[in-house]
Amino acid sequence: MSRPRWSVEGRDWPNRAHSRFVDAGRMRFHVQIMGEGPVLLLLHGTGAATHSWRALAPMLAENVTVIAPDLPGHGFTTGRPVGGLAMPAMARAIGELLHTLDMRPDAIAGHSAGAAIAIRMALDGIADPSAIVGLSGALLPFPGLGAALFPTLARLLFVNPFAPHIFARMARVPRETGRFLVRSTGSHIDAEGVRCYERLLATSDHCAGAIGMMADWDLETLKRDLPRLRKPLLLVHGEEDAAIPIATARSAAGMVEGARLLALSRLGHLAHEEQPEEVAAIIRNFVEASL
């Protein structure tokens, strides 16, 4: 296995000056903290890391304190939570990080699987945010056969010791990562973002973390629990999202009392990387109105 090295893959990492490494529980987290004011926790999605917030985080930090960790199994965070990479275990691990930092989030914004973790933290009493924003949230099981086939395929890949190496080799093919991002997300992001994804996906540890997270993901339980959420929830979803259809976001919003859905035209799954100014304003306005 190869893992992302802070001195190599992270040598010119976005917002590097705001990075620190924090030991919490069984984990050593890479986390970026910037700004001052109410605390906003940012949780990236599967296969990403703090670079996903490279433009968005500094904009938000003009009004709030931003905390953005690399999730377990991802980026420059090392170690493995008790319970592996299942959603409840990930939520508890982030809770341990917050406890170590002695910081309580006033609001949480999560992208894709990060949105699911944010809601799980609120449901399980790990955090008590006044607002939750889900960006292209992965909140419901895949429709039809995908509900059963996707986690099964992920588990088969996870138990295959060669799978992470295969994915890492593919990421090293020139321009393949950029093409993959467009195909899988419907988003066209900047060259810096593509470069960061290339560096991470070319390491087998990061690929293994993403595959392991998908293999352990239980969206059926989250679907069952969603109606219990009693927090202001805003779902922001790109109309061109190739990973999660916007119809899924509409269904999820309908399951939570008072939840709102905001559709973004011409944007894909990585809308917050395509149009960070627009998404930052949306988050800022919703959080300020909820606090």
Which structural domains are found in the chain, ordered by start?
16-290 (3.40.50.1820)
CA–CA dist 269, 67 (Å, integer): 22
3-state secondary structure of 250: helix
CA–CA dist 203, 77 (Å, integer): 13
For 272-290, what is each residue's pLDDT tens digit? Answer: 999 999 999 999 999 999 9
Which stretches of the chain are DSSP H helices? 56-60, 87-101, 113-123, 146-159, 163-171, 176-185, 191-201, 204-215, 219-225, 246-255, 271-274, 276-290
CA–CA dist 180, 184 (Å, integer): 6
pLDDT score, position 152: 45
pLDDT score, position 168: 61
pLDDT score, position 2: 85
CA distances, 118 to each of 5, 61, 121 (Å): 27, 19, 5
- By the 10 Å C-beta count (0-12 exposed, 13-18 middle, 19+ buried), 124 is classed as middle
- Ranges of residues in the chain whose predicted pLDDT is under 70: 1, 143-171, 173-174
- Bridge partner residues of 30 (DSSP): 21
Phi–psi pair at 89, nearest 5 degrees: -65, -40
Residues 6+ apart with CB under 8 A from 267: 187, 238, 239, 240, 241, 274, 275
Q: Are the CB atoms for 24 and 94 separated by under 8 Å? A: no
pLDDT score, position 146: 44
Neighbours of 146 (CB within 10 A): 11
pTM of the complete model: 0.93
CA–chain centroid gap for 192, Å, is 18
3-state secondary structure of 11: coil
CA–CA dist 14, 18 (Å, integer): 9
